[in-house]
């Protein structure tokens, strides 16, 4: 069976994730900001873990950061990734503070390292713009 | 109140056949393990007045009231303590702790604590169906946004931690491999171990396939069908049973919260503080360790967090065979969950009971007055410490 019969998962446009996906479609990377204390957070959550406020807004961030941790996935948990293994899964620490699970693209394995400066790019997948990261000049 | 008399001890141990064992359901394995533990203690089902159950991932709907499911399956009457508990791999220690608290409060006399799981299915005829292998699907935690990035499973979550530990402290694959090799060497003396009879060299560790680099396959624990139960009993009743009591000298929990990627630390320091204070003991009193080992890396971090070495020095600490057979600090003497069988935190508790009793056969450690047992759940999220010994506190 070819990989095309198994599309990769697409993030559901849940109420929590919709502002993130809308921003990405417009070419912007957005995270939540607590409406009470201003703490940035991602992934989206109901409450601020610092002040417990439910007041929340979305704010654009620079899309720049660095690789904070990573692994190279060799296992196939989902048939949509059969043709991709091995592929890197990274935690990017954004310049503004929050961390984000993503993939690094346009980066050979030997160049991938913790501390690698990266910037956001958007990958089209079934109408969703999925934020990923590529190496950038420091 | 005479607190000494009310102390609690582990009096029974039941371990079913482990690994690729098919037939019983997850609930069935729990029942089998409790029956074995009762036999071991010389107790009968009617003696039980407490039941604590940690349902594994394959329990499905039965997990919701898991202890009632087991009670009904065994026909147990008039329990005074019953709960299904889940702190991931820290549950086993938490169950024993809960049992001790109830017993010392006078609210129970004999409490069964059990974990069971049946995630492995019998091999199917080759018909080309299914993607992936084994039971990995049952252990896929990630969904939603993370799934879009192909970030599935717990292997990757711990691999992220390991990547940062390697980056910050210079930990190497040789260090992680030393843990896999040491545990495999212990397993050669444990007839119950799934890897009994299958030795491992460091070169073979390096040659094992990547699952989530920096983790090789042999950095990861086994997947096992089976059940494991212990009976925790009131001290004054423990002394007259079939086996020498294994006293709960100290116990504690630690659940640090926050982001372990930032700290690279478990809840062990917090849990250990209570446990060692209760036992009136220090690290120097510990004769052997049974440390929760979902991955090689977990053992390394746990040794650091208990203070056997400084933070970041876990790699060099394990590199010279120190934790293997004949080493200065015996760790995971039955082969651990990497090389014996994976019953969440019950694997280390079971082996500690065997060692304290002196029933370890070819793997018995020379001095076995006090064993340190850790439990760890989530992604270094939950932690329990038990100090088990030959004498009461
Ligand atoms: Zn806030």
**10-residue block means of pLDDT along chain B (393 residues)?**
69 98 97 98 98 96 95 97 97 98 96 98 62 36 78 96 98 98 98 98 98 98 97 96 98 96 97 98 98 98 98 97 97 98 98 98 98 97 98 92
Domain assignment present for A27: yes
For the record, the structure tokens of A33 come out as: 């900001």
pLDDT score for A13? 87
The alpha-carbon gap from A92 to the nearest alpha carbon of chain B, in Å, equals 11
Strands B8-15 and B246-254, how do they pair?
antiparallel
pLDDT score for B139? 33
Q: Do A74 and B213 touch (CB under 8 A)?
A: yes
Cβ–Cβ < 8 Å for B194, B341:
yes
Q: Model pTM?
A: 0.94
Where are the domains positioned within chain B?
A: 8-120+223-238
Cβ–Cβ < 8 Å for A65, A98:
no
Domain tally, chain A: 1
- Chain A residue numbers with beta carbons less than 8 Å from the beta carbon of B148 are 8-11, 125, 128, 130
Average pLDDT, chain A: 94
pLDDT score for B125? 62
CATH number 3.40.47.10 is the correct assignment for the domain at B8-120+223-238: yes
Say how many Å lie between the CA of residue B352 and the centre of ligand 1: 45
Has B342 been annotated as catalytic? yes
Cβ–Cβ < 8 Å for B279, B387:
yes
Distances from the Cα of A52 to the Cα of A48, B102, B257, angstroms:
5, 34, 15
Cβ–Cβ < 8 Å for B233, B108:
no
Say how many Å lie between the CA of residue B256 and the centre of ligand 1: 20
Q: Which domain holds residue A63?
A: 9-135
Cβ–Cβ < 8 Å for B333, B365:
yes
pLDDT score for B6? 67
Domain assignment present for A79: yes
Q: What CATH code is carried by the domain that includes residue A113?
A: 2.40.50.840
> What's the CA gap between B305 and B19, in Å, rounded?
30
- Chain B residue numbers with beta carbons less than 8 Å from the beta carbon of A125 are 148
- Widest CA span in chain B: 67
Class of residue A49 by CB neighbours under 10 A (exposed 0-12, middle 13-18, buried 19+): exposed
CA angle B278, B281, B287 (to 5 degrees): 125
The secondary structure of A48-117 as a DSSP string is -TTT----EEEEEE-SEEEEEEEEEE-S-SSGGGTTT-SEEEEEEEETTS-EEEE-B-S--GGG--TT-E
The string of pLDDT tens digits covering residues A71-108 is: 999 999 999 999 999 999 999 999 999 999 999 999 99
- Chain B residue numbers with beta carbons less than 8 Å from the beta carbon of A89 are 149-151, 156, 160, 212
The secondary structure of B130-157 as a DSSP string is -SS-TTGGGG----THHHHTT--HHHHH
Domain assignment present for A129: yes
How confident is residue A136, by pLDDT bands cut at 50, 70 and 90?
Answer: very high
């Amino acid at each position: 069976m070819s990989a095309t019969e198994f599309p990769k998962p697409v993030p559901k446009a849940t109420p929590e994730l919709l502002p993130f996906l809308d921003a990405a479609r417009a070419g912007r990377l957005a995270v939540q900001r607590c409406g009470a204390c201003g703490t940035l957070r991602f992934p989206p959550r109901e409450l601020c873990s610092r002040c417990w406020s439910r007041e929340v807004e979305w704010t654009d961030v620079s899309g720049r950061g660095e690789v904070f941790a990573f692994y190279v996935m060799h296992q196939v948990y989902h048939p949509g990734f059969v043709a991709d293994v091995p592929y890197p899964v990274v935690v990017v620490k954004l310049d503004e503070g929050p961390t984000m699970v993503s993939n690094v693209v346009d980066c050979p394995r030997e160049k991938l390292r913790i501390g690698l400066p990266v910037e956001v790019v958007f990958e089209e997948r079934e109408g969703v713009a999925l934020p990923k990261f590529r190496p950038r000049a420091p | 109140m005479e607190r000494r008399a009310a102390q609690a001890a582990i009096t029974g141990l039941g371990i079913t056949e482990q690994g690729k064992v098919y037939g019983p359901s997850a609930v069935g394995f729990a029942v089998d393990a409790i029956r074995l533990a009762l036999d071991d203690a010389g107790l009968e089902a009617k003696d039980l007045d407490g039941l604590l159950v940690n349902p594994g991932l394959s329990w499905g709907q039965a997990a919701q009231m898991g202890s009632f499911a087991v009670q009904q399956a065994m026909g147990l009457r008039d329990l005074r303590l019953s709960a299904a508990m889940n702190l991931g791999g820290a549950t086993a220690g938490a169950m024993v702790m809960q049992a001790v608290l109830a017993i010392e409060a006078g609210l129970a006399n004999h409490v069964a604590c059990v974990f069971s799981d049946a995630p492995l299915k019998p091999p199917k005829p080759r018909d080309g169906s299914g993607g992936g292998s084994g039971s990995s699907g049952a252990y896929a935690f990630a969904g939603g946004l993370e799934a879009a990035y192909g970030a599935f499973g717990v292997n990757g979550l711990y691999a992220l931690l390991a990547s940062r530990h390697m980056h910050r402290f210079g930990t190497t694959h040789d260090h992680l491999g030393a843990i896999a090799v040491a545990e495999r060497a212990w397993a050669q003396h444990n007839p119950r171990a799934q890897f009994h009879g299958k030795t491992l060299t460091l070169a073979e560790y390096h040659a094992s396939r990547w699952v989530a680099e920096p983790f090789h396959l042999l950095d990861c624990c086994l997947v096992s069908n089976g059940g494991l139960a212990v009976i925790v009993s009131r001290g004054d009743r423990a002394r007259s049973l079939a086996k020498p009591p294994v006293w709960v000298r100290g116990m504690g929990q630690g659940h640090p919260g926050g982001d372990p990627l930032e700290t690279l630390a478990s809840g062990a320091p917090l849990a250990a503080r209570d446990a060692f204070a209760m036992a009136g003991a220090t690290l120097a009193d510990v004769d052997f360790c049974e440390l929760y080992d979902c991955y090689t890396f977990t053992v390394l971090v746990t040794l650091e967090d208990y203070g056997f070495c400084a933070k970041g020095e876990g790699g060099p600490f394990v590199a010279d065979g120190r934790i293997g057979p004949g080493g200065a600090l015996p760790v995971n003497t039955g082969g651990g969950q990497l090389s014996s069988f994976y019953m969440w935190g019950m694997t280390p508790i079971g082996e500690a009971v065997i060692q304290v009793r002196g029933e370890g056969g070819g793997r018995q450690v020379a001095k076995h007055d006090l064993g340190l047992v850790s439990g760890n759940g989530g992604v270094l999220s939950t932690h329990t410490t038990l100090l088990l010994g030959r004498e009461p506190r």
